[in-house]
Amino acid sequence: KTHIGKVIDVDNDGVLILKDDQGRLQRIFSGDVTLARQLK
């Protein structure tokens, strides 16, 4: 499994905001707000 980063926030549109190993922020649209909130 690839470690893409730690989920640090989820916006209201279900976009996951992750911080990767280099400290960069990445936004990934999950398309599933309910699942995203559970990951938070």
> Model confidence over 16-32: pLDDT tens digits?
899 988 899 988 887 66
Residue 22 lies in a domain: yes
Boundaries of domain holding 31: 6-39
User: What residue ranges in the chain does DSSP mark as E strands?
Assistant: 6-10, 15-19, 25-29
For the chain, how many structural domains are there in total? 1
- Cα 7 to Cα 30: distance, rounded to the nearest angstrom: 12
Nearest to 23 by CA among 2, 8, 11: 8
Average pLDDT, the chain: 78
Q: Tokens in use for 24?
A: 């960069």
Residue 16 lies in a domain: yes
pTM across the whole model = 0.56
- Residues of the chain above pLDDT 90, percent: 12
